Amino acid sequence: MNDLSVGQLPAGFGAGSAFARVTELDMSGNALVALPDDFCAGLAGLRVLFLGGPAGEPSCNKLASLPSGIEALAALEHLSLHDNALTQLPPLHRMRRLETLRLDRNPLESLPGPLPQSLKTLHLEGCPLGGSLDDGGALPPAG
């Protein structure tokens, strides 16, 4: 479902049995400015979610925030949010399988802390973050 330039998703998108077995969802290039609060309700098996880029295109998503329920996506391994308008993120520490988080080119002011222990790759290129990762957003120790 990418490059459709839909602008916004209807309430209830992702809910119900039709989405129960979806493991990968690509919503990039839809000119999204917001996600419904119940966006994550029926996506419990989701492992990969693309909500970023393509940068500079009119169809580029421009999400300024994420629904607080995004943390309920416990099976998520890859979350791509690059090239949006995010200034902050909801808590993500309950995403116990999240390994890759792409936040490149967002006007992020800070990171939520703590980050998931499973996180292996964090992309922050072009983010004007203040503070440091030690302030509750510490990356897990290598090992």
pTM over cut 0.85: no
Assign 81 a pLDDT band (cuts: 50, 70, 90). very high
- For 121, the 3-state DSSP assignment is strand
Rounded Cα distance, 25 and 37, in Å: 17
- The residue-averaged pLDDT of 40-69 equals 82
Percent of the residues in the chain that have a pLDDT greater than 70, as a whole number: 73
> Lowest mean pLDDT: which of 61-70, 93-102, 119-128, 132-141?
132-141
CA neighbours within 13 Å on the CB side: how many for 48?
6
Rounded Cα distance, 85 and 77, in Å: 22
Task: Convert the pLDDT of each residue in 128-139 to its tens digit.
Answer: 886 555 444 455
Residue 105 Cα distances to 10, 21, 50, 111, angstroms: 27, 31, 15, 14
Assign 12 a pLDDT band (cuts: 50, 70, 90). low
Residue 120: which domain range? 1-143
Q: Taking the CB of residue 33, how many other CB atoms lie within 10 A of it? A: 14
Domains identified in the chain, total number: 1
| DSSP code of residue 69 | G
2 or 77, higher pLDDT: 77
pLDDT at 16 (0 to 100): 55
Q: CATH code at 53?
A: 3.80.10.10
pLDDT of 62 over the 50 cut: yes
pLDDT at 39 (0 to 100): 79
